[in-house]
Amino acid sequence: MPSLSRDDLRRLHFIDALFSHVTGHDLYLAQQIKDAIAFSLTELTARTKADPDSAERYDAAFNAAAADLLTRFFGQSPRHGFYHWDASLTSVSATPLFTRMEIMSGLKHLAPFRESTLLVTNLRPALLPASQRASTRRRRDYAEALALIQDLAAARTSRRNQLQLLFL
């Protein structure tokens, strides 16, 4: 395997963690999935090489493509529940009230399944936008949102059910 950049290595381990049930933590298989996602983003890759400042857009598109692939994979499994919440859909999505509503809705959807995955995407960019300074208040809001989601998942999931909580 050729030498990977720091970002490529991070993406490889990200894919390995997301698709561990498929890859069995085999980095070669994870590399195949990563390459397939990167191939689907070929045009954006070319733009990123021309303009290194657009790397953040590439990361967001890569994460969205991986989340979409995960959604399609779990959508076909009748025995494994899956719920995806994108916190950046609206400007108020990541506020505590709407966060609680979305997570409770997701947990209600996942309740009948013994094994399930709750995927939360774009929570960090919604609460800590790159275009604004990461103030103490914004960092505190982000930490509180993470704690709220984890606490709700722990309190509202039956002991006999296995819930994977993923944050992208």
Note the pLDDT tens digit of each residue in 94-152: 788 889 999 999 999 999 999 888 989 888 888 888 788 888 999 999 999 999 999 99
Instruction: Record the tokens describing residue 103, joined without a space.
Output: 């997570």
pLDDT at 76: 75
Other Cβ atoms closer than 10 A to 133? 7
Spatial strand order in the sheet of 162-167: 80-86, 115-121, 162-167
Model confidence at 6, pLDDT cuts 50, 70, 90, reads confident
Percent of the chain having pLDDT more than 70?
92
Residue 52 pLDDT > 80, yes or no? no
pLDDT at 94: 79
